[in-house]
Structure 1
Amino acid sequence: MPGTTNTVKTRRVFYIPGYDPYPPQRYRKLYETEGPKQADISGYHLSVATAKDRPNAWEVTAEIDGARTRAGIEVLAWSDIVRDTMQASLGASYLQLLLVAWTYLARGTLRRLAWLRKGPIIAGFYPVLMLLAQLAAAMLAGKIAAVLVTGALASGADWLAGLFGAVATETMAWTVADFALGWVIFGAVTVALLSWAKARDGKLCAYYLMHDLAFSVSEGGAYPSVLEARMEEFKRQIAAALAGPADEVLVIGHSSGAQLAVSVVAGLMRDGMLPANGPALSLLTLGQAIPMVSFLPKADTLRRDLHELAGDERITWVDITAPGDGCSFALCDPVAVTGVAPETQRWPLVLSAAYSQTLSEETFRSLRFRFFRLHIQYLCAFDRPGSYDYFKITAGPDTLGESFADRKPSMNRIDVPVSRFRSMAA
């Protein structure tokens, strides 16, 4: 870890988002909004401008701690892949539900994950319960509709038949027609109500979270080929920056982008893409839920990458989570709990964003039940920032290693091996 301070005049930042279907411009707008807020609170200057030659990037100029810096921040987007995976039909979505439930329940993975943190387990299986509840409600409505309609038709048919001295509903033809019609009404109402609920999933996010989980478990924890190809593109972009004039290249992985960042950086190191006298290479993971994938049977590649990065002296890796973020495995060392820590583990430095201390009581109270907003708080301004300041890290004069040189890991970190599956790719 470097021993000097204020060594960064230019920085390249690569941000890998989580499972997000929205275009990367939303992260630029978030930075434009929250960065000046943090600058006003913390007493430094920061300005943001769109990068003309890169649609997914922006330029930041700052004056922090008496030093002037420039940073180019770029989103490594995979939102198109996310959108493609979210096009599943109703039937496919419920098949995904079965896949997710089977994957985490069949081999006790869910039980082991629950030993670490309950929050992400609740968040993860909320869509399973919500979609099952919607199915049950839609089927009940379908059954009621079928009974009412067929009952009304039977009464009408008997009334008409009574005019001629007969009972229409006692014939074999009516029985068959009544049975078939009942099932048609039941199916039509059930599908219509489920389709209605799916079209209005924006607030409940049940289908969104289901697709997220299903994408992670689709290959049993292995990276899908389409994502592997995109990660290779990410590696090439970062490697080009490492060959440039920047003083630091900072890779940030947020949410499910954290495991992608780990594997991309590990691949760079393994493929010899880190120049001997090049920029400092740093990795920052935020709000990670890595165990949701690394605990799966076929996550051999991710486990190998965690193992390799954890002992590498050429980088700095800091992992920031917050117990107030129910969507992350807060203060869980992703390497240790997966059971792949090397004997000489150096990374990650596990720290807390400590929402209860770094946010004002009013802000924290207003966000308390806004779980998705809390999950992106790492990218936002803090009322009482501690050692973690996203904007100072991405635009300030110190490398990530210098910023946290004197910090000890959180005393509340969880570093006990828990995962049943610990095999690693060769």
Structure 2
Amino acid sequence: MTAGQTKQVARRRVFYIPGYDPFHPRRYRELYRKEAAAQATISGYDIALGRRKSGDAHGWRVTGRMDGAEVEADIEVLLWSDIVRNSMAQGIAATYLQMIRTAWAYIGSGVIFRVMRLRKGPTIAALYPIAVLLAQLGVALVAGWGVAGLTGAGFAALGLSAMLGWIAGALTLWAILDRFRAWDRKIYAYYLMHDYAFTAEADGAYPPGLEARLAMFADRIAEALCEDWDEVLIVGHSSGAHLGVSVLADLIRAGRVPGQGPSLGFLSLGHVVPMAAFLPKAQRLRGDLAYLSARLELTWVDVTAPGDGCAFALCDPVSVTGVAPADKCWPLVISAAFTQTLSPERWQELKRRYFRLHFQYLCAFDRPGDYDYFRITAGPLTLAERFAGRQPSKSRIERVANPFRDIA
């Protein structure tokens, strides 16, 4: 089914592509269960979760009763968390080496200054782990130096080697750095460092292991497109958004989207595309963005919000990358408008919780607008129907900011 065709949805297949996240898929299931119940209470509809018929632990089944219809949705998480965990398995010294390489990738290429012109929030998020890790190293060095001086003098007074003082200082330095790392669940410096380092490792090119995983994702989606669903919906969140772009571009190029199959929708949420697409060797991603933006086989809606400091809010990922073709028709760029769709009390509660806000797209809104994640995934309208006639946000950013525009 092409983007222009319409059909009431009774059965939907949803594939969710997470961002750089090491967690088990049950985390997404529990988030959906909790937030769907909250949204259903607010909006006056009913959503029930159950096990997928296949018994696959990487997903869940949803029954949505809303707008006078009942919809069955099968939701599957397309996992790459094992790749994330492997990339995060770095020691303290290796993380500091990562920091140097990643800083050079973004600063040396000039990319960091280009993305700063688009949105300052993601730029601050990129510089944050560097600043924090350097501050931690500074504290550890000062403490280690102090301990070395004091204990060295003490050992010398006892007629022992002053080298023992330097050993004590080094152990102190390492112990402090290790303690800082143990606190990272609260400050996210190591986590963010590994995230940006993974993207920048090959200057924007996908590493072989991730390419292989994207091919597996494409196979799963292609299989669903040949089954009896009314809609196949791909949801890409954060860095999962640009992975979704590449998977869908591969599928369409290979002729694996049947002309008379289910309606195909792509919902990208809280994207960070410039952090990857602006790097020198991201020709593959830039080519995929250009290609997908002109395809009529799907409907592509991109949702961000200025209140999300971790995303490139309202930045058209194709246009700002500088690869928009003359016949570009996607994505439809709209805002989740947190300051309007969240009550003043809820906004005050969340506005400083930056990482929580980055997941708000998957959560309940107490003043929902036309963006409602649970109506999209469990309601009777396809993505194309739901946003038919919807105008893009007037505040969207389309100016080209990317210094590297060659494509694969």
- Give the TM-score normalised by structure 1: 0.93
User: How far apart are residue 203 of structure 1 and its match?
Assistant: 0.4
Alignment of 1:69-108 (within 5 A): 69-108=71-110
User: Paired residue for 1:333, among 281, 293, 316?
Assistant: 316
1:10-44 Cα deviation digits (max 9, x unpaired): 10000000011110111111111111111111111
Structure 2 residues not aligned, in runs of 5+: none
1:177-210 Cα deviation digits (max 9, x unpaired): 32x3343222211111111211221101110110
Which residue number corresponds to residue 233 of structure 1?
216
User: How far apart are residue 5 of structure 1 and its match?
Assistant: 5.8
Corresponding residue SS for 1:59: strand
Which residue number corresponds to residue 37 of structure 1?
38
Equivalent residue letter for 2:107: L
Distance in 2 between the 1:226 and 1:107 partners?
Answer: 25
* RMSD between aligned residues: 1.2
Corresponding residue SS for 1:202: helix
Equivalent residue letter for 1:411: K
Which residue number corresponds to residue 50 of structure 1?
51
Corresponding residue SS for 1:221: coil
Corresponding residue SS for 2:187: coil
List 4+ stretches of structure 1 deviating above 4 A. Answer: 1-6
Q: How many residues align?
A: 406
Alignment of 1:196-275 (within 5 A): 196-275=179-258
> In the alignment, does 2:122 pair up with 1:120?
yes
Corresponding residue SS for 1:203: helix
Equivalent residue letter for 2:384: G
Equivalent residue letter for 1:354: A
Which residue number corresponds to residue 296 of structure 1?
279
- State whether residues 3 and 296 of structure 2, in contact with CA within 8 Å, keep that contact through their aligned partners in structure 1: no
> In the alignment, does 2:156 pair up with 1:154?
yes
Distance in 1 between the 2:118 and 2:298 partners?
Answer: 27
Distance in 2 between the 1:413 and 1:185 partners?
Answer: 56
Distance in 1 between the 2:169 and 2:334 partners?
Answer: 53
Equivalent residue letter for 1:40: T
* Structure with greater Cα Rg: 1
Distance in 2 between the 1:367 and 1:229 partners?
Answer: 37
- State whether residues 5 and 397 of structure 1, in contact with CA within 8 Å, keep that contact through their aligned partners in structure 2: no
Instruction: Calculate percent identity across the aligned residue pairs.
Output: 53
- State whether residues 284 and 318 of structure 1, in contact with CA within 8 Å, keep that contact through their aligned partners in structure 2: yes
User: Paired residue for 1:131, among 133, 137, 162?
Assistant: 133
Which residue number corresponds to residue 11 of structure 2?
10
1:126-178 Cα deviation digits (max 9, x unpaired): 11110000001001000000011012223344xxxxxxxxxxxxxxxx7xx32
Equivalent residue letter for 1:203: K
Distance in 1 between the 2:107 and 2:9 partners?
Answer: 48
Equivalent residue letter for 1:139: L
Which residue number corresponds to residue 403 of structure 1?
386
Which residue number corresponds to residue 168 of structure 1?
none
Structure 1 residues not aligned, in runs of 5+: 158-173
Distance in 2 between the 1:240 and 1:5 partners?
Answer: 22
User: Paired residue for 1:358, among 305, 316, 341?
Assistant: 341
Equivalent residue letter for 2:141: M
- State whether residues 155 and 165 of structure 2, in contact with CA within 8 Å, keep that contact through their aligned partners in structure 1: no
User: Paired residue for 2:113, among 111, 114, 128?
Assistant: 111
Distance in 1 between the 2:388 and 2:234 partners?
Answer: 18
> In the alignment, does 2:374 pair up with 1:391?
yes
- State whether residues 28 and 57 of structure 1, in contact with CA within 8 Å, keep that contact through their aligned partners in structure 2: yes
Distance in 2 between the 1:401 and 1:277 partners?
Answer: 16
Equivalent residue letter for 2:230: D
Distance in 1 between the 2:271 and 2:388 partners?
Answer: 22
Which residue number corresponds to residue 23 of structure 2?
22
Distance in 1 between the 2:3 and 2:240 partners?
Answer: 27
Distance in 2 between the 1:110 and 1:4 partners?
Answer: 41
User: How far apart are residue 3 of structure 1 and its match?
Assistant: 5.9
Equivalent residue letter for 2:369: G
Distance in 2 between the 1:122 and 1:287 partners?
Answer: 16
Distance in 2 between the 1:313 and 1:5 partners?
Answer: 14
User: How far apart are residue 99 of structure 1 and its match?
Assistant: 0.9
Corresponding residue SS for 1:145: helix
1:243-263 Cα deviation digits (max 9, x unpaired): 000011000000111110110
